[in-house]
Amino acid sequence: MVVTQALRWIETARVADRTAAATALSQALVEDRLDFEDRCAAEAALTMLLDDPSDKVRAAMAEALSFSAKAPAQIIEALAGDQPHVAAFVLGRSPLLTEADLVDRLVLAPGILQAVIASRAGVGIQLAAAIAEVGEREGCLALLSNGGAEIGSVSFHRMIERFGSDDEVCHALLGSARLPADCRHRLVVRLGEKFSRSPLLTGVVGERRAERIARDACTQASLTLIDHTRCEDHAVLVEHLRSRGDLTGGFLVRAVAQGNIDFFGAVLIALTGQNERRVRALLARGRDVALQALMQSAGLSQQLHGAIISALRVWREVANGRRVAGTQEVSWTMLQGLRGEGNSELALLLRRIHLDALRSNARGHARMLAAA
């Protein structure tokens, strides 16, 4: 169809015919098949179709133009403000919409369109921050499921603040491999607090017992989190735990007993202010006196020094290939060093760690036998 004829024909054509014409004109534009005069006429025709009473016509135009960088910018801008099912084509695809354009649209968009914007390929860190700040839950869920989105630590924190009580958002956050360790710990603590208030749990074991169960579960989850945190991220996690008051002596004893020596080193660096190379060297091969001085400088109770040094000796032998040992053996060695202190809080803690390790190893052995 000749473009000039289309301009005269649009006003009287049926919806199906106008839809076909909108698609054909849009494709001709993006495929660059028109000379200058026909291109101007085609843009004029499409501009007229922006006011078409049928959303089918406008949707056909939006779909045909959505992927192209050659589409008329003024038409893309108009379509981006159309009804949601029309606007979705260009908001989700058009390369002509800048990050600033998308942020402006996001603020006033309903949740369904926020999700479309959040699902775009290559969502930048500024757009992700805007979604985390003002987006509805649909937009945040779409952002978390977008593997190509650049999500900053601040944005993760903001989503936790806004949707920390939403089970689906929490699940999506915990399922993201990009979630920083401090954010993950924050979520784990929130879930633990929610678990401790569960009517079922408090009804069965009582409120005080429920709080202890939840606290122990959070502690173990924190230790598991350390196992899955990269060494370069330990400093951030340490600062987070420190600000919460969670870097207790008991927690550090558990961490050392379970072999989290790199994390323990990051704690000592943060608490003493000494350089990383010196602290790592002392943990790897430092004498007892030097280690005691280091822990004293970090403010660790002197009662913990002997048990921690006993554990470090075992883990050094494991690292050097001279011994095979795990938490069960290490906690027993730590406990044996407390002769005459069998009823102290430290001894009770080490005994609990040892029994937990025994149970865990027994379960693992049983599973291996069952699978054989």
CB 186 within 8 A of CB 160: yes
Question: pLDDT band at residue 151, thresholds of 50, 70 and 90?
Answer: very high
d(CA 14, CA 12): 7
Name the average pLDDT for the chain: 90
Structure confidence by residue, pLDDT tens digits, 297-309: 999 999 999 999 9
Q: Where are the domains of the chain?
A: 1-83, 98-176, 180-246, 251-372
pLDDT at 341: 67
User: Among 162-166, 207-211, 289-293, 317-321, which is the least confidently predicted range?
Assistant: 207-211
Q: Is residue 3 predicted with pLDDT exceeding 60?
A: no
- Other C-beta atoms closer than 10 Å to the C-beta of 42 total 22
Torsion (CA) 167, 173, 175, 181 in degrees, nearest 10: -130
Structure tokens at 203: 């009804």
What's the rounded mean pLDDT across residues 111-131? Answer: 96
Short-list 83, 6, 85, CA closest to 46: 6
- What are the tens digits of pLDDT across the range 178-198? 999 999 999 988 877 777 777
The whole-model pTM stands at 0.79
Dihedral through CA 174, CA 179, CA 183, CA 188, nearest 10? 20
Q: Read off the pLDDT of each residue in 123-142 and give the average, rounded to a whole number.
A: 97
68: left (phi over 0), alpha (psi -120 to 50) or beta: beta
Span 306-328, mean pLDDT? 94
- Is pLDDT of 149 > 90? yes
